[in-house]
Structure 1
Amino acid sequence: MGRRLNLLIFAIIGFVLTMSVLAPEPAFADDCGPIDAESGICANDINGGDSVDVGADKTNPGDGGSDGRNNGGGGGDNSGGGDSGDGDADGKEEAHVEFPCRFVGTCPDEGSDPITIHDLASFTPAPTHVTMEPDGWMIVGLPANFYADADVNTDSGKLFEFPITVRFTPSSYSWSWGDGSTASTGTGGSSWKSLGVEEFTATSTSHTYAEKGTYTVSLTVNYSVQIKTSGTGWLDVDGTLTKAASGVTAIATTANSVIVDKECNRNPTGPGC
């Protein structure tokens, strides 16, 4: 009986040693198949932390995803739901920053010069008309009075896709009298009646013709320009805008050939009397 027991013990020990020798080697991550994974014999963390922990609920940390910025760089969660970055997709946020600094010429970027007259080519002041008296004729040797209806006016529209208002203020007037002479005035002039003076009185915008003939009087108005947008006051724009006015054509003749509004016997001091 004791001999049989000893043989049984030796048989069990031999079986255990045999199974230890025949046991399979642990599989590496690259060789781990579905069956090996289910059996739990796949090795973990053998390739430096990039392997998947079978049975676990997450992967080891990697490089991360996009943070939602325009250039897609940086880390963040896989949804890409990071902050908005330097500006929204259509660049409007950036333009809101750049536009005011161009107004005052303080933009740090090269090429961001202040707004000039050339940037406002699509904006224009209201038309200006020239009026003369007497209407359509002049007496040689006597002043004819000219005046323009230019005034401060505004025009609205968009610049760089932003709404702005442009204000035009007449600053000077350049007259061409049609007889080769010119004049520059700081006013557009007024009628004799508005000035409270007699007809044929010399004014700051009158001209006297020395020869008979037909003359075309032309005028250009020079404007200073200001602009504003939401959140700003009026800001000066570099340069001066020049705008032509409608001219007038009139005949200069002698006094005795002109029909005056009153006969000489009723107005002995009138022209030609």
Structure 2
Amino acid sequence: MEADAAGVEFPGFTLADLQRLPLPAGEPALEPGNGYVLINVPANVYADAEPVELATDVVGFPVQVRATPARYSWAFGDGAVLGPTEDPGAPYPDLRVTHIYTAPGRYDVVLTTHYSGEYSVAGGPWLPVEGEAEVVSPPVPVEALAARSALVSGAAPS
């Protein structure tokens, strides 16, 4: 265990310490990106989250912390949830994480980013933090619309 010049021992760095840091919320993206989706058609979702390195102080010890997005959870506002999953999803055409709304309405999509962490005390070795810190994004509103098709005679208008 590390000790400072006065003989004070470093108490360790816990999940609660990691959770108190200003970890950024992942950015949820929903495609199509116009705020509307069609019911019964898969809507593509993906997370944009990057690793961060932060400096902090624990009882006088300088601590560097690395937080890495490890998993993602989605709440789609209609009662459906997905995750946590290691796959952040991807922009179209890679439809790796999707959701199908089955009823018209306005919904809020919420992403929770789960960070794994490591810490280094006074330039020492990197040590793991047990557990994952969770950061919830602001909700992204989406409106699910019902569409109908109709056969018409003649050429489509241009």
Per-residue displacement from partner, 1:176-208 (whole Å, max 9, x unpaired)? Answer: 111111111212211105x3xxxxxxx232101
User: Shift in Å at residue 121 of structure 1?
Assistant: 4.7
Structure of larger gyration radius: 1
Determine the structure 2 residue equivalent to 1:174: 73
Between Structure 1 and Structure 2, which shows a larger proportion of helix residues? 1
Q: For structure 2, which runs of at least 5 residues remain unmatched after alignment?
A: 150-155
SS in 2 for 1:216: strand
Higher strand share: 2
Q: Which amino acid aligns with 1:232?
A: G
Q: Which runs of 5+ in 1 are unaligned?
A: 1-86, 103-113, 196-202, 258-263, 267-273
**Of 92, 104, 108, which residue of structure 2 is paired with 1:192?**
92
Q: Indicate yes or no: 2:6 matched with 1:93.
A: yes
Structure 1 segments, 4+ long, off by >6 Å, are none
Give deviations 1:204-252, integer Å, cap 9, x for gaps.
3210111111111111111111101334121101221111112211111
3-state SS of paired residue (1:169):
strand
Does residue 254 in structure 1 map to residue 146 in structure 2? yes
* Bigger relative contact order (CA 8 A; separation at least 6): 2
Compared CA separation, residues 94 and 190, structure 1 to 2 (3 A): same
Offset at residue 119 of structure 1 (A): 3.2
Cα deviation, 1:105-151, whole Å, max 9, x if unaligned, reads xxxxxxxxx43112345423223221111120101111111111112
- The AA in structure 2 aligned to 1:253 is L
Q: How far apart in 1 are the matches of 2:99 and 2:69?
A: 21
The amino acid that maps onto 1:242 is: E
- Indicate which of 113, 123, 131 corresponds to 2:21: 123
CA distance in 1, matches of 2:123, 2:52: 21
Cα RMSD between the aligned structures? 2.3
Equivalence map 1:41-56=2 (5 Å): none
Aligned to 2:31: 133
Conservation of the 8 A alpha-carbon contact between 1:175 and 1:219:
yes
Structure 1 residues 245 and 212, CA, compared in 2 at 3 Å: closer, same or farther?
A: same
User: Normalised by the size of structure 2, how large is the TM-score?
Assistant: 0.82
d(CA) in 2 for partners of 1:222, 1:248: 18
Give the distance between the partners of 2:14 and 2:144, measured in 1 at CA.
Answer: 42
Match of 1:216 in 2: 108
Q: What is residue 64 of structure 1 aligned with on the other side?
A: none
Identity across aligned pairs (percent)? 32
Partner of 1:163: 62
Cα deviation, residue 256, structure 1? 4.5
Superposed counterparts of 1:202-213, under 5 Å: 203-213=95-105
